[in-house]
Chains A and B, each alone.
Chain A
Amino acid sequence: MAHLSDGTLRRKFDDADSLTESENRHYSACADCQSRYTTLANDARAVAGALAVPDLKVDVASAFSRVRSAPAAQPRFGIRLPIVRPASRPVMGVLAASFVVLALVVTAVAAGGPFFQPKTVQVVPVSVADLQSLNGLGDFGTLTWTTQPAPQLVTSATEAASVSGLQVPVVTLPSTVSHKVTYAAMPAAVGVFTFDAAKAAATAAKAGKTLPAMPAGMDGSKLTVTVGPAVVEIFGNLNIGAGNGTGTTTAATPDPSQLALPQLVVGESSAPVVTSSGVTTQQLENYLLSLPGVSANLAAAIRAVNDPSTTLPIPIPIEYATSSSVTVQGVGGVAVGDNTGLGAGVIWIKDSTVYGVAGTLKQDVILDIANGLK
């Protein structure tokens, strides 16, 4: 019989009866196994001693009361991201960028009539200074969700499809990418943003700024935004601090600094739809682009978008990312990143659906994956 494995011997240390009869016979006659057992038992005892701590006495009732009274994280716009702390800087950057998107969408609405439904994507270069100087969307009014965004982690592609009503893209993975996958899905959400002149003025005054007066009729006017449904497939071990033990669902809200980047993220969402009421969309566009935070360069970049009624603007921070136009699945898309392998992504719209593929891979690989989606 072969020697007993380290694992078997280690288990014997915890449970003397764990060996089978034949293993016991071998062990009794094998000096090598006995010697290895002595070594690992010494290690096990030493480690147990080293990790020993005084008994912990807890007051469960008061601990529960503290947990119950802990304020729930209140993300802006009511969207809770499952694996990122809502107040983290990157998220705020993304939310600031959403303002740029809104401005662009309004531009699109202005040019294209009451509906905005993008059919293609285009880069709008923004600087970090642009993003930092922009007010949050919430400073100009109130967003209420008639259908709350409900992103959720689900256990399988079937469940993701069921939650979203979308067909989950089938991804052909290169050999370097982990097959460990986490699915997230979201049904469509509908929000109504109502402009509020008094709130905008008060927020600006607090910051020592003066805003241009809202055009007549803008106060109280509404934008109705429909986002999703959407599905996301996240490949790789996220090191998110928790798992269910079966490898099917993993999620937590740990420090973002502790998260491992996923190797690959593949997302699919119905293209957003925006309608405007009350004020003319041209007025909204002019107002948003005249705000103090919007630099002349940014306003010019926004106005330079081709055919805004059918273009989804992609804000790209020029200091951190390079972008280029690519063809994906036979349509135009935007690729971000490079071939260093540090990170790259591509986004495109086909048949009124927005697709995105991104990861810590070379751009060539990302494009191959994007073209291979089924």
Chain B
Amino acid sequence: MASKAGTRNAVTSNEDSFEALFSAEYGRVAGIANRVLADPHEAEDVAQEVFIDFNRLHSASAPYAAAWLYRAAAHKALNRVRGRRRREKRELSQAMDEGARTMDPQHMLEVSEDRRHVRQALGRLAPKPATVLVLRASGLSYAEVAQALGVGIGQIGTLLRRAEAALRKEVIRGTSL
């Protein structure tokens, strides 16, 4: 009986930890996915999948939890970009909504086209440079990016520089950056 109670307490404690982890990190995880996808709805889908995956395999109190979530969000979102086609219509519609509030029609089209080209270019990069760009652009510190990628903090500047040059080169193929 005592062991059953112990098990129940352990389960409750893990659920509490997961809820705390979710509350603390969901916004940032969804933000990383949104940085890649430029689509809030799809970004939240990705973020929720990432948490479900995490909860299935890991303890919420694991010291690597946040780093795992950040990297998973970037990878999963990048995978979606690489496979997507259907998103493009929605992206155009979203850009037009934004544009209707703030921009002239010509600018609306430019925003939509630029976003599309940039995301396509991001999807063509190798996983590591694409991830370093996304995580840094999402506001992670050098230390956090390094932890998420499993590399030394001293490598981040070099990785960022190479990734930015590579992205710019990819984007220039289709449009001006």
Contacts and interface: CB of A to CB of B under 8 A. Distances in A.
The reply to whether chain A is a binding partner of chain B is: yes
Interface of A: 5-11, 14, 40, 43-44, 46-48, 50-54, 56-58, 60, 63-64, 66-67, 70, 72-73, 80, 82, 153, 239, 241-247, 249, 251-255, 257-258
A241 B71 CA distance: 7
B160 A63 contact: no
Contacts of A60: 22-23, 26-27
Enumerate the 9 nearest inter-chain pairs by beta-carbon distance, A residue then B residue, closest first.
A244-B64, A7-B158, A242-B72, A7-B157, A245-B67, A245-B147, A11-B157, A241-B75, A10-B161
A7 B154 contact: yes
A215 B70 CA distance: 56
A242 B26 contact: no
A245 B65 CA distance: 9
A7 B155 contact: yes
B76 A64 contact: no
Contacts of A244: 62, 64, 67-68, 150
Nearest to B26: A60
B23 A8 contact: no
B53 A252 contact: yes
Contacts of A6: 157-158, 161-162
Contacts of A242: 50, 53-54, 68-69, 71-72, 75
Contacts of A54: 98
A interface, over-half SS: loop
B108 interface: no
Contacts of A245: 64, 67-68, 71, 146-150
A47 B133 contact: yes
A7 B168 CA distance: 17
B96 interface: no
Contact of B160 (A10, A70, A252): A10
B10 interface: no
B136 to A, nearest CB: 8
Contacts of B31: 56
A51 B133 contact: yes
A47 B26 contact: no
B58 interface: yes
B43 A51 contact: no
B57 A82 contact: yes
Given A241-B75, A241-B76, A56 B40 contact: yes
Contact of A64 (B26, B35, B71, B134): B26
A82 B34 CA distance: 26
A241 B79 contact: yes
Contacts of A246: 64, 147, 150
A56 B157 contact: no
Given A242-B71, A245-B71, A44 B22 contact: no
B60 interface: no
B7 to A, nearest CB: 13
B137 A47 contact: yes
A64 B30 contact: no
Nearest to B177: A46
A47 B76 contact: no
Given A60-B22, A251-B58, A47 B52 contact: no
Contacts of B157: 5-11
B168 A43 contact: yes
Contacts of A51: 35, 118, 122, 133-134, 137
Contacts of A11: 142, 156-157
A48 B76 contact: no
A153 B47 contact: no
B168 A46 contact: yes
B68 A243 contact: yes
